[in-house]
Amino acid sequence: MSGTFISFEGIDGAGKSTHIERLSQAFKAQGKVVTLTREPGGTPLAERLRTMVLNDPMDAMTEALLVFAARRDHIVEVIRPALARGEVVLCDRFTDATFAYQGGGRGFDWGVLERLEQWVQGGDVLLQPHLTIWFDLPPAVAAARLASARVPDKFEAQSGAFFEKVAAAYGRRCASDPQRFARIDANLTPDAVWEQVIASVRIKALLP
Ligand code: TYD
């Protein structure tokens, strides 16, 4: 795989979106072809699964299976082909979100998620992002940001206790793969957050 794969993670309200867009511009300025995508979603089928996962009540295992089904389609149809062409794939959430939300938030079995990860992302080599930028923000701060925003979806409507568990699960994933993760302090001004984002990409020599 010759391309560059970067994922963006964090609890709802952590403020990923503007930085993903800005990073896309930074890669394009270097003449790179960028695929901006998201999970669950990124293909017509996966977007339909996203609508179900974000709106319909279901048990945690069903949720985990649907997000991995969406991920499989996304990998086969979009991510692997783009990487094989040498492009840059910027993905708003990837598998760490499943560990955080279904594993941490909803308490679904961590070991089963690890097996699904091997299955769905396996092949000759396990597909993982080269870099995962984790926007770490205290859940209370994220909740205050979300309160003034839009109508909450199924996850955004969850309690503070839920997001404490999601945040802790992100911490666990980060600790288990520290080379891949860049933890960003998202409780700062947008410019100060951006400085950390761009530094995390440069330190990996993914941008000059
Ligand atoms: P999000 O990425 O925050 O998009 P938006 O900015 O449009 O709200 O929303 C996706 C939601 O899906 C988020 O609450 C986390 C959840 N999610 C899971 O529960 N499991 C997963 O595997 C993924 C990728 C996302």
Q: What Cα–Cα distance (Å) separates residue 201 from each residue in 37, 173, 182?
A: 18, 19, 9
For the segment 19-38, the average pLDDT, to the nearest whole number, is 98
Q: Which of 44-58, 101-115, 152-166, 180-194 has the lowest mean pLDDT?
A: 152-166
* Preceding peptide of 129 cis, ω within 30°: no
Q: How many CA atoms lie within 13 A of 6 on its CB side?
A: 27
Ligand 1 touching residue 117 (CB < 6 A): no
Whether the predicted pLDDT of 24 surpasses 80: yes
What residue ranges do the domains of the chain occupy? 4-203
What does the alpha-carbon distance between residue 145 and residue 115 come to, in Å, rounded to a whole number? 35
* pLDDT tens-digit series, residues 165-187: 999 999 999 999 999 999 999 99
* pLDDT tens-digit series, residues 31-45: 999 999 999 999 999
* pLDDT tens-digit series, residues 197-207: 999 999 999 99
What does the alpha-carbon distance between residue 31 and residue 208 come to, in Å, rounded to a whole number? 12
* Separation of CA 204 and ligand 1 centre (Å): 26
For a mutational test of ligand 1's pocket, the pick from 8, 9, 12, 158, i.e. the residue with the most ligand atoms closer than 8 A to its C-beta, is: 12
Ligand 1 touching residue 155 (CB < 6 A): yes
Sign for the CA dihedral angle at 100, 102, 107, 112 comes to negative
* Separation of CA 151 and ligand 1 centre (Å): 14
pLDDT of residue 1: 60
Evaluate whether the domain defined by 4-203 bears CATH number 3.10.129.10.
no
Give the whole-number percent of the chain exceeding pLDDT 90. Answer: 91
pLDDT of residue 29: 98
For the chain, give the number of residues.
208
For the entire predicted model, the pTM comes to 0.97
